[in-house]
Amino acid sequence: MNSTLRFIVMGDLHYVQEQSHQRALNGNPRGVTEVADVTRNLWLTRNVTPEVISSIASLKPDFVIQTGDIIHGHCDNEELGLREMREAMELLEGLLAPIFFALGTHDGVVKHERIQVEQYVYPIIGKSLGTAPLTKGYYTFEKAGCLFIFLDYTTFVKDDEQAAFIKETFARSGKYEHVFLFAHPPLICVGRPFFTHFDFVNTVLREIAEHPVDVYFCGHTHNQVSTLHKVGGHWLPQLKSSVLGYPDLAPVNLRDVRTILPDPSSFDYGWGYLEDSAPGWWEITVNGESVQADWHVLRKGVQGQLRWRRGEKAEFVKKPEFATTSGLALPSLGEIRSVQLRAAGTNCKTPEGYRLSINGTDVGALPRLEYFDSRQFFKLEPKFWPLLEKANRIEVTTCEEPMCIGGFVLEVETAAGWVRSTVTDYYANTDRWDHWGKAPVEKIVPGQTIVEELAFG
């Protein structure tokens, strides 16, 4: 069959209706990042999302696929959650194309929020399919000899009905010219360890190893990473996207600020953008046996591209350019405008518990670190800037609470931009993640002090 098809894949959207989040906005948030998250996503909803939607509509795709976190969700009550989802659906009508969804963790996981999905999302998918409203978040459709598979990460339970659906669906996938797979979380963690369910990943990867798919699209981390992974005897493109991001913010190369997790022999790294910059989406063109995936960035056009033929390893034809920030010499004191230690962590809550020393001098305590938030760092006071050298010994004390911490990188700001040191691994003091295997974290004992070297070029 020599068929042509063109569709768009867009990741996390986090539409915010301001009135639905008064609790957080009036100073009563549930988590340490909720106020910042709602405020940021409200701004993006108003100032960026409409432009993203009109840009996608101007491409006139056959259809659009969104891979979850349509809304920010977790609203003040059921009625306000429904309002947020209804408004998001109205906004998405601006795509002027049929739309399909793979549900995300903000769309309605708990029972009283599930009504948001049942009332507004399932009918839209049904309309796009030309059927009655769906009753489940996992489904398939066929188009031009291609199979499209959607999984519902939010309700997945090991060995349940959806697991059976996955098995049956992959078993019949071989007869299609191309197979496209969509769900919310990454199957392989690249920049953020453990940010997906082990059972979901294992169930799906087991099937992909036996029945290869063309590509897997996801979101969830908001880092926009494009990679190829060896699964069974095949190479799987895992393409993430998010339309959240400040268009004018200089993009941060993920590899400059995060340890890249997979074993280098098992994957090819195309590119990665740290969360918050470069709102982007995928445009996929299927032409008979050939597929082309163009990565668009708002106001910047196509920044990256892959091509493949079914059964063959995809090739990165074009990769985005990043400003060089690592491997550079430490700037002189007179050039420095600010210095920070970027860090990532989960459950590092004890106040003053994570003290930092640089080259033998205690310089303060790290802030509370949770969720591997991309915006967390420790600001180094100017009086400590003379401590910096080409190679720096950093020591971080840790607490007894079960936690993971790491991704330490010194960032020096000058008038010309950022200069970054090397990046450290991650450390965990609990067996909570042992089932993932030895990589990607190093085990420490509770209360152990982490000692690392951070070097400039």
Q: Binding residues for Fe ion, per CB under 5 A?
A: 12, 69
Residue for token pair 């990042």: 33
Among the listed residues 16, 55, 13, the one whose alpha carbon sits nearest the alpha carbon of residue 38: 16
Q: How far is the CB of 73 from Fe ion (least distance, A)?
A: 9
If the CB atoms of residues 68 and 212 are measured against Fe ion, the closer one turns out to be 68
Q: How far is the CB of 128 from Fe ion (least distance, A)?
A: 22
Q: How far is the CB of 249 from Fe ion (least distance, A)?
A: 18
If the CB atoms of residues 346 and 424 are measured against Fe ion, the closer one turns out to be 346
If the CB atoms of residues 156 and 176 are measured against Fe ion, the closer one turns out to be 156
- 151 DSSP 8-state letter: -
Inter-residue contact 103 to 121 (CB < 8 Å): yes
Residue 172 CB neighbour total at 10 angstroms? 11
User: Integer distance in angstroms from the first to the last C-alpha of the chain?
Assistant: 53
**Strand 426-428 vs strand 441-443: parallel, antiparallel, or unpaired?**
parallel
Peptide bond into 402 cis (omega under 30): no
Q: How far is the CB of 221 from Fe ion (least distance, A)?
A: 8
Tokens of 171: 């078993």
The contacts found for 165-168 with CB under 8 angstroms, 24 or more apart, are: 165/138, 166/138, 166/203, 166/204, 166/207, 167/207
If the CB atoms of residues 12 and 113 are measured against Fe ion, the closer one turns out to be 12
Tokens of 104: 């995300």
Q: How far is the CB of 126 from Fe ion (least distance, A)?
A: 24
If the CB atoms of residues 184 and 420 are measured against Fe ion, the closer one turns out to be 184
Residue for token pair 């009655």: 132
If the CB atoms of residues 12 and 294 are measured against Fe ion, the closer one turns out to be 12
If the CB atoms of residues 107 and 411 are measured against Fe ion, the closer one turns out to be 107
Q: How far is the CB of 227 from Fe ion (least distance, A)?
A: 19
Among the listed residues 265, 267, 228, 262, the one whose alpha carbon sits nearest the alpha carbon of residue 439: 262
Q: How far is the CB of 71 from Fe ion (least distance, A)?
A: 10
| Burial call 80-96: b when 16+ CB within 10 Å, e when fewer | bbbbbbebbbebbeebe
Vertex 241: Cα angle to 193 and 82 (nearest 5): 95
If the CB atoms of residues 154 and 398 are measured against Fe ion, the closer one turns out to be 154
Tokens of 380: 């180094």
Pairwise CA distance, residues 263 & 281, whole Å: 27
Pairwise CA distance, residues 91 & 84, whole Å: 11
If the CB atoms of residues 11 and 331 are measured against Fe ion, the closer one turns out to be 11
Pairwise CA distance, residues 442 & 182, whole Å: 31
Q: How far is the CB of 368 from Fe ion (least distance, A)?
A: 21
Pairwise CA distance, residues 147 & 3, whole Å: 13
- 144 DSSP 8-state letter: T
If the CB atoms of residues 12 and 207 are measured against Fe ion, the closer one turns out to be 12
Q: How far is the CB of 222 from Fe ion (least distance, A)?
A: 6
**In this structure, what are the phi and psi dihedrals at residue 280, rounded to the nearest 5 degrees?**
-145, 165
If the CB atoms of residues 74 and 178 are measured against Fe ion, the closer one turns out to be 74
Q: How far is the CB of 40 from Fe ion (least distance, A)?
A: 12
Pairwise CA distance, residues 255 & 376, whole Å: 17
Residue 254 Cα distances to 190, 193, 282, angstroms: 10, 14, 19
Q: How far is the CB of 118 from Fe ion (least distance, A)?
A: 21
Residue for token pair 């190893």: 209
